[in-house]
Amino acid sequence: MKKKFSFILIAITLLLGSCAMMQTIVKSTFPYTANLTIPASASVGEPHTAISTANSFDQDFTKDGNNAGKISEVRIISAKLESKDPSNYNIGNIVSLRVYMARADGSDEVQVAVRKDITEAVGNSIVLDIDNSHFLDELVRQPSVRIRMVYLLRKGSDVDVNLKVTLGLGAYPRN
């Protein structure tokens, strides 16, 4: 029992004592989320764009912030799209979409997720195919990031549709 307690105490000490490790855990645990709107006026068969600012629990990683320099190799590890209002909106009304992440002013934009040939009866939630070919280190150090979704509709809607994009990130401690 004493060995087990000592091991746990050492593990907690190392975890809390290492800022880089703690920042890595925080960055890898809390996703960025953005609410995007598809207006009722959006036409079928033409590409459209929806833009929103992403929020995250650990949003205060900035270059002047405390520990942003202690994480590296930040990449997208998961992406999900779900209907918020109406909650039963069929995402199958969208043919395809691409999701981009950028600085608040739109610069340094990179594609982070894509979904082509969405099935017509997919329902109100889908997992997107991630594009983790880019490091997002500089973007996550910004006070806010912009999410842009480019989509093509299969079927229009009578009301504005609010969708939530959730982007999970993975990071490593900087050596």
pTM: 0.80
Give the tokens for residue 121: 């009866």
- State the Cα–Cα distance between residues 153 and 91, nearest whole angstrom: 10
Q: Give yes or no for a contact between 7 and 116, defined as CB atoms under 8 angstroms apart.
A: no
Give pLDDT tens digits for 32-91.
899 999 999 999 989 999 999 998 766 544 444 334 567 778 889 999 999 999 999 999
CATH at 41: 2.60.120
In this prediction, residue 23 carries a pLDDT of 57
Count: domains in the chain: 1
Q: Give yes or no for a contact between 85 and 162, defined as CB atoms under 8 angstroms apart.
A: yes
State the residue range of the domain holding 11. 2-173
Nearest to 38 by CA among 164, 162, 123: 162
CB atoms under 10 Å from CB of 118, counted, come to 21
